[in-house]
Amino acid sequence: MTSNQRNWIVFLGAIVVTSLAAATYLALAGSSNETILVALRCSARLAFVVLLVVFVARPLQQMFRTQFTAMLLRNRRMLGIAFAGIHTAHLGLIIYRSRVVENFDFTVGANLPGAFSYTVMLLMFLTSFNATVKMLGPKRWRTLHKLGLYWLFIGFTQTQLPESLDHLDQLEPANWVMLALVAIALVIRLTAYLAQRRQSV
C-alpha cells in the first residue's frame, strides 16, 4: 500500500466512523436541535483532541525521545489526516442541522473565520500527498503546515471559551477539560522550545 492510498483510507475511514457514530446516536435519541448539538460538540472535541496530539508530537519527541513519542511523531501526518476526516464529518453534521432545524441559517459569509479554518484544513490535507509535497517544496510546505497548525489550534481553543470572560460560569466541564489540555500543550511546546534554545547557545 502506498502512502497516498493510506492517506485516503485514514481520511475516508475517519469520516465514515464519525458519521456512523453520529447517525447511530441520532437514530436512538432522535434528530432535534439539542441532539444534533450534542453530536456536533462530541465530534468537535474529538477532532480537537487529535489536533492537540499533532500539536505536541514533535516537542514531546524532542523532550523525551521514547518509543511512544517517536511513534507519535512518525504517525503525526496520519493523525492530522484523521483530524481532517473527523472535522469533515462535523461539517456534514452542520449541514444536516441546517436541513432539520428551522430558522437555522448556514452560510459561509455568516462565519468567515470558520470557513477560513476549513479552507486551511483542506489545504493541509491536500498537501499531505507526495505529489503536492513535491510541488510545494520543503520550505513552503513547512510554512503552510506550521501556520495552519497554529491557526487551527487557536481557532479550536477559541470555540471552548465563552463570548465574554464574564460568563465563565456557563462553561461545561468538558470545556474546562479541553482548556486544561490546551494549557498542557502550550507548556509542552514552550518547554521544548526553551530546551532547544539552551542547547543551541
**Structure confidence by residue, pLDDT tens digits, 84-120:** 999 999 999 999 998 888 877 666 656 788 899 999 9
Q: Phi/psi at 153 (nearest 5 deg)?
A: -60, -45
* Cβ 11 vs Cβ 140: under 8 Å: no
Neighbours of 123 (CB within 10 A): 15
Q: What's the predicted TM-score (pTM) here?
A: 0.94
Q: Name the nearest CA neighbour of 72 among 84, 48, 88, 55.
A: 55
* Cβ 90 vs Cβ 43: under 8 Å: yes
Residue 117, pLDDT score: 94
Q: Which residues of the chain have pLDDT under 50?
A: none
